[in-house]
């Protein structure tokens, strides 16, 4: 198998009218899987009804997953959406995805992994952080390691960000996060690429467009104008489509276009996994 893995939080986005399966790693894996890869979501769920429902939905969506049951409640996020369709999140603490165990099965998957996407949020707890870092250390030298930084509330530190930058080869970040990270580290976006030896930086700027920046080239594409239902998961779909396209041999420009097209579609749908 040539796995494309999302590792980290698995949870319910509790929207104003319903709840939707969420969490950036599962969203990423879902979209990579839709584009033909052996996608796998790694997290943990509780021994509760919400955990049962997450596993049921993943099976219905044909998304392969490795999610041990642990003695903590399944994660939830209260999502409120403003009049422009922009979500804000209240993320519950001390939940199952804070306690992802590292297992022999995970280690075996890491050794067959072509790409892995991870963020800062699931590293808020020592147990899940240790699991994520062990997984990253177990992958092969040619694996794409995408740090989709995903800053949420107060759940990040300079140490988590720097350690993650040292272990990734692609940084995915949005313009608001860049305005936090650059002053924190005392670097501009070009210095992030050179100082952490990144192969590329993926920068999304909402309606203003997106950039793929490498040491040699820069690709910019505008964001298509679509009728937005909500933007939940749009960034994750961008990353999943971009990585799947790169793995299939597409050029950076072609992969960028695919990512823009997929994320624009996701914005026209409710929830992160249409």
With both helix axes pointing from N to C terminus, report the angle between 175-185 and 158-167 in degrees, rounded to the nearest 10: 100
pLDDT per residue over 191-227, tens digit each? 999 999 999 999 999 889 999 999 999 999 999 999 9
Residue range 3-19: average pLDDT?
Answer: 90
For position 38, what pLDDT does the model report? Answer: 93
How is 17-50 classified by DSSP, letter by letter?
S-EEEE-HHHHHHHHHHHTTSEEEEE--EESSHH
Question: In the structure, what pLDDT confidence band is assigned to residue 17 with cuts at 50, 70 and 90?
Answer: confident
Q: Give CA–CA dist 136/116, Å, rounded.
A: 8
How is 211-229 classified by DSSP, letter by letter?
EEE-SS-EEEEPPPP---S
* CB atoms closer than 10 angstroms to residue 207: 12
pLDDT per residue over 236-269, tens digit each? 999 999 999 999 999 999 999 999 999 999 889 8
The token pair at 217 is 């080239």
The token pair at 175 is 């313009």
Domain spans in the chain, listed from the N-terminal domain onward: 3-267
For position 13, what pLDDT does the model report? Answer: 82
Name the more confident of 39 and 78. Answer: 39
Q: What does CATH list as the number for 3-267? A: 3.40.1190.20
């Amino acid at each position: 198998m040539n796995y494309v893995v999302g590792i980290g939080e698995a949870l319910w986005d509790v929207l104003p009218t319903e709840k939707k399966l969420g969490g950036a790693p599962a969203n990423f894996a879902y979209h990579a899987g839709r584009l033909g890869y052996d996608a796998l979501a790694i997290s943990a769920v509780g021994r509760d009804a919400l955990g049962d429902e997450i596993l049921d939905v993943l099976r219905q969506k044909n998304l392969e997953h490795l999610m041990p049951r642990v003695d903590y409640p399944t994660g939830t996020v209260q999502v409120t959406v403003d009049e422009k369709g922009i979500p804000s999140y209240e993320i519950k603490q001390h939940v199952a995805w804070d306690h992802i165990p590292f297992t022999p099965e995970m280690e075996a998957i890491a050794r067959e992994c072509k790409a892995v996407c991870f963020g800062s949020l699931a590293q808020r707890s020592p147990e899940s952080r240790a699991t994520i870092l062990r997984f990253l250390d177990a992958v092969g030298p040619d694996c794409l390691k995408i740090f989709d930084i995903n800053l949420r509330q107060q759940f990040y530190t300079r140490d988590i960000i720097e350690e993650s930058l040292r272990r990734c080869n692609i940084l995915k970040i949005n313009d608001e996060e860049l305005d936090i990270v650059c002053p924190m580290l005392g670097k501009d976006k070009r210095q992030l690429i050179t100082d952490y030896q990144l192969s590329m930086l993926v920068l999304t700027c909402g309606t203003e467009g997106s950039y793929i920046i490498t040491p040699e080239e820069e690709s910019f594409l505008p964001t298509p104008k679509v009728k937005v239902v909500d933007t939940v998961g749009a960034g994750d779909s961008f990353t999943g489509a971009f990585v799947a396209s790169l793995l299939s041999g597409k050029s950076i420009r072609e992969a960028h276009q695919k990512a823009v097209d997929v994320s624009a579609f996701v914005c026209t749908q409710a929830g992160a996994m249409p």
